[in-house]
Homo-oligomer: A and B are copies of this chain.
Amino acid sequence: MEAFSDGVFAIAITLLILAVGLEQAFSEGELEQQLLDLWPAYIAYAVSFLTVGIMWANHHQIFRHFARVDRPLLLLNILLLLCVSFTPFPTRVVAEHAKNGSDREAAAVLYGLTMTLTAICFFSVWIYGSRRLLRPDADLREVDGITRSYLPGAPIYLLATLIAFVSPIASLIIFGALAIFYAISSSFFGRDPS
């Protein structure tokens, strides 16, 4: 299952480049200006890449604690991958519409809902697995620590999504800040992979 999950994570993360645009024709005129105008696409690409990349690292970390995989976990994992694979779509919508005042709200809500659902699936995989499939030698304090660290994920993303109805820009900035925060915190305080 790890190989398949790794594959889906790797492909979803690489398809994010399609959100920047590999096929649309540039319109006539100054290429330089058009490339500069794509700055929201570059940021959206980097934020989603970081987010999915950290999620992949954490995915590995949690499966280390499971002694085996059963059928319900398999289904929960497929649902998680369904969300991860979906990421390039909201990324592209944000990339294209973040600069447009009237569309920014819808784009931020779509992005936020995808992230919230992904966080819920991720947490479900962890909770199910940590209740039923834990390795006999798992360090229960570490397990509790992981539960506590993943618990706020979905509520925070939901809150940032709701903020989009008041200020879409604030909402988008929070999504970016969360990616950077998770990247840095998991890098300096996370446990080394083994």
Instruction: Return the chain B residue nearest A23 by Cβ.
Output: B23
Q: How large is the interface on A (under 10, 10 to 19, 20 to 34, 35 or more residues)?
A: 35 or more
Q: Is the interface of A mostly helix, strand, loop or mixed?
A: helix
Q: Which residue of B lies closest to A69 (CB)?
A: B193
Picked from B78, B86, B103, the residue with its CB within 8 Å of the CB of A31 is B103
Q: Whole-angstrom distance between the alpha carbons of A46 and B117 in the complex?
A: 13
In this assembly, does A107 line the interface, its C-beta being within 8 Å of a C-beta of chain B?
yes
The answer on a CB contact under 8 Å between A10 and B7 is yes
This chain: copies in complex: 4
Q: Which residues of A line the B interface, CB within 8 A?
A: 1, 3-4, 6-26, 30-32, 35, 45-46, 49-50, 53-54, 56-57, 68-72, 74-75, 78, 81-82, 85-86, 88-89, 92-93, 96-97, 100, 102-103, 105-107, 110, 183-184, 186-188, 190-194
20 CB-based A-B contacts, threshold 8 Å: A7-B14, A8-B10, A8-B14, A11-B15, A12-B14, A13-B85, A17-B89, A18-B22, A19-B22, A21-B89, A22-B23, A22-B92, A31-B100, A45-B86, A53-B82, A57-B78, A68-B192, A72-B187, A75-B184, A75-B186
